[in-house]
């Protein structure tokens, strides 16, 4: 899912495995903004003046043209039209169909496994390659996306967090949305202990949130700089605070939050995750591969190595038990470079995966590290916009990062 604004965590020391080895907790950021990585830091260019930097970049472009990319890997979460989508995770079914048709016309769309084979080959001019992935394991990947993938003959990999299917639970970010952003009457004051610290928020007039309030703000997303109500402010802050927690601490906070909200739910759940049977049906046929995405969707970089191994290995075993076949593709939860470490990539290799996907916006180049494959998050764009964004991604630009 959902990741952080700015893939700026190019850590200088990524070898410390212990809990809390990050200088600061992962900040809550929108999934869209996760596509806003800034690779220039790696070259120390930020030490130069702005004018000097621009001149330097122009010179580099003139005399050192960018290597031709090999492929784009697209990252989706949901194919659905929920009543509200604060994390920008959904693409409408009709738009997804047009996006896939467009992609299949202009690119050779291959499976991730095939893409990895091509990465290992000698560079040669060939068709533009693309691969399609989904993260988390939403049920609409089966009900709304699979038939489109089949009709467009587009292979895809769906990365499933197995904890959701074992517990039949929603993702925590969806539960926060349910509790705070839908019409309901809540207590006016929320006191919550999160990660050993006590927090208090006041909802004021928005303790009671009616249908017309919901209608007024249903298009709000976390990319907006403003929080139109206290509920949106609390939602944003809880996303930031819950994201870096280990699963036990997060569940304790969610449990307290549910109790505070009175456990009421008077509307259908819009965030169904795949069941074991759904995973089998999704993987049936030649187009969809199922990959692992850990058990509880943690920030792996914040876990001790033994816990990381358990998260990675248990999701693989669980899916292999369901599917009766080997599972060899993996995606890091959240997936920015600050969400996993060099130990994590080594563990993924040791656990028998052939490739792993990250979540930072870059085209795949020949010789790329197949355990940190970059991906671009796709939004609910119409066909024209989708084509334009693909072209900009292919050309090394970042259109799509600052458009929402």
Mapping DSSP to helix (H, G, I), strand (E, B) and coil, where does residue 21 land? coil
Q: How far is the CB of 293 from Zn ion (least distance, A)?
A: 6
Which residue's CB is nearer to Zn ion, number 34 or number 129? 34
Q: Which residue stretch of 127-135, 191-199, 267-275, 313-321 sits at the interface with Zn ion (rule: CB under 5 A)? A: 127-135
Could you say which of 7, 136, 170, 289 contacts Zn ion (CB under 5 A)?
136
Question: Within 10 A of 300 (CB to CB), how many other CB atoms are there?
Answer: 25
Which among 207, 114, 366, 344 has a CA at the least distance from the CA of 358? 344
Q: How far is the CB of 171 from Zn ion (least distance, A)?
A: 8
Q: How far is the CB of 37 from Zn ion (least distance, A)?
A: 17
In the block, tokens 């610290």 appear at 197
| Burial 82-107, CB ≥16 within 10 A → b, else e | bebbbbbbbbbbebbbbbbebbbeeb
- The H or E element that residue 241 is part of is helix 230-242
Q: Which residue stretch of 1-9, 193-201, 318-326, 374-382 sits at the interface with Zn ion (rule: CB under 5 A)? A: 1-9
Could you say which of 7, 85, 135, 401 contacts Zn ion (CB under 5 A)?
135
Separation between Cα atoms, residue 309 and residue 133, nearest integer Å: 23
Q: Mask 315-344, x = binds Zn ion (CB under 5 A)?
A: ------------------x-----------
Could you say which of 1, 74, 91, 378 contacts Zn ion (CB under 5 A)?
1
Q: How far is the CB of 74 from Zn ion (least distance, A)?
A: 15
Region of residue 289 (phi > 0: left; psi between -120 and 50: alpha; otherwise: beta): beta
Which among 102, 35, 104, 108 has a CA at the least distance from the CA of 75? 35
Which residue's CB is nearer to Zn ion, number 99 or number 294? 294
Separation between Cα atoms, residue 234 and residue 238, nearest integer Å: 6
DSSP for 340-374, please give it: S-HHHHHHHHHTT-SEEE------B-TT--TTSB-
Which residue's CB is nearer to Zn ion, number 163 or number 333? 333
Which residue's CB is nearer to Zn ion, number 158 or number 257? 158
Q: How far is the CB of 87 from Zn ion (least distance, A)?
A: 11
Which among 107, 98, 38, 28 has a CA at the least distance from the CA of 401? 38
Which residue's CB is nearer to Zn ion, number 1 or number 279? 1
Q: How far is the CB of 63 from Zn ion (least distance, A)?
A: 40
Q: How far is the CB of 297 from Zn ion (least distance, A)?
A: 6
Binding residues for Zn ion (CB under 5 A) = 1, 135-136, 333
């Amino acid at each position: 899912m959902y990741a952080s604004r700015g893939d700026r965590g190019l850590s200088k020391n990524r070898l410390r495995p212990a809990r809390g080895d990050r200088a600061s907790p992962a900040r809550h950021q929108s999934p869209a903004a996760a596509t806003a990585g800034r690779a220039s830091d790696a070259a120390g260019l930020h030490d130069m003046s702005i004018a000097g930097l621009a001149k330097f970049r122009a010179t580099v472009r003139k005399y050192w043209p960018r290597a031709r990319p090999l492929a784009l890997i697209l990252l989706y979460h949901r194919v659905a039209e929920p009543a509200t989508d604060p994390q920008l995770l959904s693409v409408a079914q009709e738009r997804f169909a047009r996006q896939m048709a467009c992609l299949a016309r202009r690119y050779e769309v291959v499976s991730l496994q095939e893409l990895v084979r091509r990465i290992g080959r000698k560079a040669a001019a060939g068709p533009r390659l693309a691969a399609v992935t989904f993260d988390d394991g939403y049920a609409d990947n089966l009900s709304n996306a699979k038939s489109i993938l089949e009709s467009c003959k587009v292979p895809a990999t769906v990365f499933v967090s197995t904890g959701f299917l074992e517990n039949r639970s929603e993702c925590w970010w969806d539960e926060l949305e349910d509790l705070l952003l839908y019409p309901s009457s809540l207590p006016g004051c929320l006191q919550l202990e999160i990660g050993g610290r006590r927090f208090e928020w006041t909802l004021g007039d928005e303790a009671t949130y009616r249908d017309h309030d919901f209608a007024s703000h249903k298009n709000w997303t976390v990319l907006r700089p403003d929080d139109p109500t206290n509920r949106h402010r609390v939602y944003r802050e809880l996303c930031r605070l819950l994201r870096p927690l280990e699963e036990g601490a997060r569940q304790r906070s969610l449990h307290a939050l549910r109790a505070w909200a009175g456990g009421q739910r008077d509307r259908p759940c819009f965030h169904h995750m795949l069941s074991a049977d759904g995973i089998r049906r999704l993987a049936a046929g030649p187009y969809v591969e199922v990959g692992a995405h850990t058990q509880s969707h943690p920030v792996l970089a914040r876990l001790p190595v033994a816990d990381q191994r358990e998260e990675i290995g248990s999701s693989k075993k669980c899916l292999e038990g369901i599917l009766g076949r080997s599972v060899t593709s993996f995606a890091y939860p959240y997936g920015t470079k600050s969400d996993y470490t060099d130990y994590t990539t080594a563990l993924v290799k040791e656990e028998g995966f052939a490739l792993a996907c990250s979540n930072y916006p870059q085209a795949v180049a020949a010789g790329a590290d197949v355990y940190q494959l970059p991906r671009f998050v796709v939004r609910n764009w119409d066909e024209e916009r989708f084509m334009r964004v693909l072209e900009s991604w292919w050309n090394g630009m970042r259109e799509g990062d600052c458009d929402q």
